[in-house]
Structure 1
Amino acid sequence: MSLAKRLGALLKEKKLSGNALAKKVGLTQQSLWEITSGKTKQPRNIGKIAEVLGVDPGWLLFGEKTNAVQNISSYEIKQHVPLLKGEKIKEFCENMNKTLDKDTIFIGIQGKASDKTFALEVNGDSMTAPLSTKRSFFEGDIIIVDPTLKPENGSFIVININNEPTFIQYVHNAGKTYLKPLNPQYPTLEMNKKMEINGVVIQVISKV
C-alpha cells in the first residue's frame, strides 16, 4: 500500500475531506492533491499531516506489515526520532539538533530511547536472509538505532566501515568480533579498530 492509499484510507476512516485536512495542515489544495494522487511520495510536512490524523509519520510514509487501517491508532508512540541519511549520522551523534534542518522527517517509535536515537532506511539486501531463517530485513525498512547502547553477541548494529554506515549483525566468538550479514552472499568481516559503531538497532518498522 502506497502513501497515497494509506492517506486516502485514513481520510475515509476519519470522515475527513481533503479540503479540511489541507486547512488543518496549512497546505494548498494543489499540494494535497499531489500527495493523494501519488505524485509527491515524500512530502516535507508529513509530520504535521500525521499529527493531524493521529498516526505515526513513519507508518504513513513507509507503511508497516499490517494493512488494517483500524490498527493504525493502536501504534502507541512514545518518542519521535529523526530519519537520517548515512552521511549525517556521525554529525548528529556529536551535535544532535544542530545537524537537523527544517525538512527533517521524524519517525514515531514505541517505548523510550536516548535523545541521540535516530532512524535509518535500510539499503540493499545484505541483511535479507534466506526464507528458511526467522529474522530478516528488507530494503526500505526503517531501523531505529540507539548510539548509547553497547552491542551484545547477536545484536544488530550500524557501524562505520570505510566511512560508510553499514547495517550488520555483531557476533563475538572465540575472543574475536565479527560483522555478519544475514544474506550469505555477502562476506563476514572481522571487526578492527578503524571501524566505529554508530549504535545498536532497537526497533524496526517494516515496509509493506
Structure 2
Amino acid sequence: MNTLGERIAHYRSLKRLSQKALAMACGWGSQSRVGNYEKNLREPGLDDLEKMSSALGVSIAVLLGEGDSKEAGGNAQVVAPADRSYRYPVLSSVSAGLWGDAVQPFEPGAEDEHIVSDYMGKGPCFWLRVDGDSMTAQYGESFPEGSMVLVDTGIEPRPGHLVIAKLVNDDKANFKQLVRDGGRSFLKPLNPTYPLIEINGNCRLVGVVVESRRRYI
C-alpha cells in the first residue's frame, strides 16, 4: 500500500464497506468523492481525513501510512531514537487571516512530505503551512506567510497558547493566539490590523502549535 488511495481502499475493504457506504458514513451525498480519493485523483484535506478515519476505525496516521507509535503521539516515524528525532506529516495549509479555507488540495506527492523534529508529541501531530499575514508581527513573535507550524492535537488549549481553530460544520480553519478577557474567549491575531474573533460556539480548537520553522532563501 504505497499511496493514500490504496490505504483507504484497503481499510474500507476490511470494514466490508462499499464506496457508497463509506461516503454515507462520512456524510457525503455521492460515492464519487471516495472513488476519486482511492484512485488518487484528489487529495483529501484534514476534515475529510478525520471523517474517513472515524468511519474506518483507524487513525489519520494509519491512513497516511505512518503506523502506530505510542512513544511519539501515534503518528510519527522515529528517525533516530537516541536523538529523539521524529518525522511528522505535512497535511495542508492553514489560514492566518480571517476565516480561511484550510483544507486545500495537496500538491503532488505532498501526502508523503514530512518534516523532522525533536519534539515528541502527546497526540497526533501535523505540520501546517501558514497562509496570510495576520500572525505576522512587527516586533516579537511572528509567523509570516510560508512558515511551517507543528500542531499537537494531544494538548489541551489554554489561554496564551497558539492554536489552530476550525469552524464547526465547515472546512475552515484559522491560526491565532487563544486569549480570555472578561470571561470570554477570543482568537487573537499577532498583526494588530486584524480584529479579535470571539469564540462563541462557532469553532472547535484542533490543537496547539508547539514549534515553527521558516525558510529565509
TM-score tier, shorter chain, comes to: 0.5 to 0.7
Q: Which has the higher contact order (CA 8 A, sep 6+)?
A: 1
TM-score by length of 2: 0.51
User: Following the alignment from structure 1 to structure 2, what is the Cα–Cα distance between the partners of residues 113 and 134?
Assistant: 26
Whichever structure has more helix as a proportion of its residues is 1
Tell me the equivalent position of 2:141: 135
**Partner AA of 2:88 in structure 1:** V
Distance 1:103 1:117, change over 3 A: closer
CA distance in 2, matches of 1:177, 1:103: 34
Counterpart contact for 2:131–2:145, Cα < 8 Å: yes
Q: Cα RMSD between the aligned structures?
A: 1.9
1:191 to 2:199 alignment: yes
Aligned to 1:79: 86
Q: Choose which of 111, 116, 119 in structure 2 pairs with 1:111.
A: 119
- Residues in 2 aligned to 1:137 and 1:113: alpha-carbon distance in whole angstroms: 21
Q: Is 1:77–1:108's contact at 8 Å kept on the other side of the alignment?
A: no
Aligned residues: 119
Are 1:170 and 2:178 an aligned pair? yes
Local SS of the residue matching 2:103? helix
Poorly superposed stretches of 4+, deviation over 4 Å: none
Q: CA deviation at 1:194?
A: 2.5
Following superposition, the deviation at residue 115 of structure 1 comes to 4.8
Change beyond 3 A, Cα 1:207–1:190: same
Would the aligned equivalents of 1:81 and 1:106 in 2 still touch at CA under 8 Å?
A: yes
The gaps in structure 2 that reach 5 residues or longer are 1-82, 93-101
* Mapped partners of 1:147, 1:102: distance in 2: 20
TM-score normalised to structure 1 length: 0.53
Deviation at 1:77, TM superposition (A): 5.8
Q: Shift of the alpha carbon at 1:104? A: 2.2
Give, in whole Å, the separation in 2 of the partners of 1:104 and 1:193.
Answer: 34
Q: Distance in 2 between matches of 1:178 and 1:102?
A: 32
User: CA offsets, 1:90-149, max 9 Å, x none?
Assistant: xxxxxxxxxxx884201111221135100000101010012xx21111111100000111
The residue matched to 1:148 in structure 2 has which SS?
coil
> Among 146, 149, 152, which residue is 2:155 paired with?
149
